[in-house]
Structure 1
Amino acid sequence: MKTMFSATGIWSVLSLTLLFSCNAQPSPEAKKPNVILINADDLGWADLGCMGSGYYETPNIDRLGREGMLFTQAYASAANCAPSRAHMITGLWGPRHGIYTVGSSERGNTKTRRLIPTPNAQSIPDSLYTLGEMFHDNGYRTASIGKWHISESPLTEGFDVNIAGSHRGGPGHRGYFSPYNAEHLEAGPQGEYLTDRLTSEAISFINGNKEKPFFLYLPFYAVHKPLMAKEEVEAIYRAKKGAEGQSDATYAAMIHTMDENVGRLLTTLKNLGIEENTIVIFTSDNGGIRDVSHQDPLRAGKGSYYEGGIRVPLIVKWPGHVKNGTVTEQPVIQRDLYPTLQSMIGAEKKAKHLDGTDISPLLKGEPMPERDFFWHFPVYLQAYNPLEDQARDLLFRTRPGSVIRSGPWKLHEYFEDGGLELYNLGDDPGERHNVAGEHPEKVRELRDRLEAWRTLTGAPVPTEKNPGFDKMFEIKKQQQARTGS
Structure 2
Amino acid sequence: MQLRIFCACIFTFCIFANSLRSEDVTRPNIVYIMADDLGWADVGYNGAEFYETPNIDALCASGMRFTSAYPGASNCMPSRSCIMSGMYTPRTQMWTPGRMAKGNKAKMKFLVPRNSDRQGDKVFPSLGALDPSVVSVAEVLKEAGYKSAHFGKWHLGPNGQGFDINNTNGLGAGTDKRFYGNVDVAENLTTAACEFIDDHRDSPFFVYLCHWDVHTPIRARKEIVSKYSDKLSNENWTRDWNPTYAAMIEAVDTSVGRVRESLEKNGLTENTLIMFTSDNGGFSGATWCEPLKGAKGAFYEGGIRVPACVSWPKVVKPGTVCDVPITGVDIMPTFAELAGAKLPTTQPVDGKSWAPLLSGNDVLSKRAIFWHYPLYLAGAKYNKVVPIYGTDEMYWRATPCSVIREGDWKLIQFFESDSVQLYNLNDDIGEKNDLAQSNPEKATALLNQLKSWQSKTKATIPTTLNPDFGSVNGDRKSQRKPKSAAK
How many angstroms does 1:161 deviate by?
0.6
Partner of 2:264: 270
Of 199, 204, 222, the residue aligned with 2:195 is 204
Q: For structure 1, which runs of at least 5 residues remain unmatched after alignment?
A: 1-11, 178-192, 475-485
Letter aligned with residue 119 of structure 1:
P
1:216 aligns with 2:207: yes
8 Å contact 1:107–1:382 — kept in the other structure?
A: yes
Deviations along 1:253-288, whole A, 9 cap, x unmatched?
A: 111121111101101100111111211111100000
Of 143, 146, 171, the residue aligned with 2:179 is 171
Tell me the SS of whatever aligns to 1:228.
coil
1:106 aligns with 2:101: yes
Q: For structure 2, which runs of at least 5 residues remain unmatched after alignment?
A: 1-5, 113-123, 388-393, 475-487
How many angstroms does 1:170 deviate by?
5.2
Partner of 1:255: 249
How many angstroms does 1:123 deviate by?
1.1
Partner of 1:187: none
How many angstroms does 1:205 deviate by?
1.0
1:43-442 alignment to 2 at 5 Å? 43-117=38-112, 118-154=124-160, 157-164=161-168, 171-172=179-180, 175-177=181-183, 193-241=184-232, 243-245=237-239, 247-347=241-341, 349-352=342-345, 353-368=348-363, 369-383=365-379, 385=380, 387-393=381-387, 394-442=394-442
8 Å contact 1:42–1:284 — kept in the other structure?
A: yes
TM-score by length of structure 2 reads 0.84
Partner of 1:466: 466
How many angstroms does 1:243 deviate by?
4.1
8 Å contact 1:288–1:294 — kept in the other structure?
A: yes
Partner of 1:184: none
8 Å contact 1:245–1:293 — kept in the other structure?
A: no
8 Å contact 1:148–1:166 — kept in the other structure?
A: no
Q: Which has the larger radius of gyration?
A: 1
The worse-fitting range, judged by mean Cα deviation, of 200-209 and 77-86 is: 200-209
TM-score by length of structure 1 reads 0.85
Deviations along 1:108-167, whole A, 9 cap, x unmatched?
A: 12222111224311111122211010111211111101001012142xx11011111756
1:448 aligns with 2:448: yes
8 Å contact 1:153–1:162 — kept in the other structure?
A: no
Rate the CA distance shift 1:45–1:122 in 2: closer, same or farther, 3 A.
same
Partner of 2:479: none
8 Å contact 1:145–1:201 — kept in the other structure?
A: yes
8 Å contact 1:30–1:212 — kept in the other structure?
A: no
Letter aligned with residue 346 of structure 1:
G
Letter aligned with residue 378 of structure 1:
P
2-structure distance, mates of 1:26, 1:120? 47
8 Å contact 2:85–2:134 — kept in the other structure?
A: yes
Tell me the SS of whatever aligns to 1:321.
coil
The percent identity for this pair of structures is 39
2-structure distance, mates of 1:246, 1:414? 34
Deviations along 1:6-65, whole A, 9 cap, x unmatched?
A: xxxxxx9xxx9xx99xx8986999773211110110000011001111211111110100
Partner of 2:121: none
